[in-house]
Amino acid sequence: PARSTVVVGTGTGAHPVMIGPDTFTLIAGPCAVESLEQTLEAAEMAKAAGATMLRGGAFKPRAAPRDFQGLGKVGLHILAEVREVTGLPVVTEVIDAADVDLVSGYADMLQVGARNMQNTALLQAVGRARKPVLLKRGIQATVEEWLMAAEYVAQRGNLDIVLCERGIRTFETATATTLDIAAVPIAQRLSHLPVIVDPSHSAGRRDLVLPLSRAAIAVGADGILVDVHPDPEAALCDGPQALAGADVRELASTLRRLVPAS
């Protein structure tokens, strides 16, 4: 099928961004929104790396209940403020069907995370929303199941879906999950949807973010989703995978070198 392009960021004052076959989109930002200052700084880092979209979690689905769960609505306000300053459209996760209207009021794109890929009520709720959806692959989901999750969204009328490969659980413990790089061209062949890669959450290790980003480019992904943080040591969420300083500059030069100008 002809590949689709999804447009993100119309109607919020942001600079709209295209995700699809004619371009390569870098989405970057902090794993979690922690404060206005931290999010602004991370957004400037993202821009310096060449990002045209900002990521940042306000609702964080954490493995342990005592871990930082995100700032919630305050985090959404911060993201909207940072969009106003930087012009970057914002993607942020929604973890509960009851919050879809709230999050849609702030975000340019709704993220459904790996843990919720088969939460059919949430999929249907984002399917009714008027914002594009970033659908991450569940860590135990086959490509077929991932595409069926996208069908749940599409069936409710929302066809603006971008798929994100973020690693699957295997016996390997050197990385948080194993990036299934073959899933990118497979999903592109089986559907018309753009497919991006999250090298940060798949590996859980900063030192692998650049190599996996290069792999994503080589295999024909439509973009990448990368964690950056002004002070990874102090990050409230997933600091070990966040890029900072020289790593951000290297990401920028890697993209300039490897991504054909569109």
Q: Could you tell me which stretch among 4-12, 110-118, 187-195, 242-250 binds ligand PEP (CB under 6 A)? A: 110-118
Map residues 197-216 to x or -, x wherever contact with ligand PEP holds by CB under 6 A.
Answer: -x--x---------------
d(CA 29, CA 225): 8
d(CA 187, CA 1): 12
Report how many residues bind ligand PEP under the rule CB under 6 A. 11
Residue 114 binds ligand PEP (CB under 6 A):
yes
Residue 166 interacting with ligand PEP (CB under 6 A): yes
Piece of the chain touching ligand PEP by CB under 6 A; list 46-54, 74-82, 108-116, 207-215: 108-116
Torsion of CA 235, 228, 37, 13, to 10 degrees: -140
Q: Does 83 bind ligand PEP (CB under 6 A)?
A: no
Distance CA 192, CA 188 (A): 6
Indicate the Cα dihedral angle 61, 222, 217, 94, nearest 10°: -10
Q: Please report how close the Cβ of residue 62 comes to ligand PEP at its closest, in angstroms.
A: 8
Burial readout 125-156 (b: 16 or more C-beta within 10 A, e: otherwise): bbbebebbbbbbbbbebebeebbebbebbbee
Q: Is 229 in the site for ligand PEP (CB under 6 A)?
A: no
Question: Among residues 21 and 35, whose Cβ is nearest to ligand PEP?
Answer: 35
Residues that bind ligand PEP (CB under 6 A): 31, 57, 61, 93, 113-115, 136, 166, 198, 201
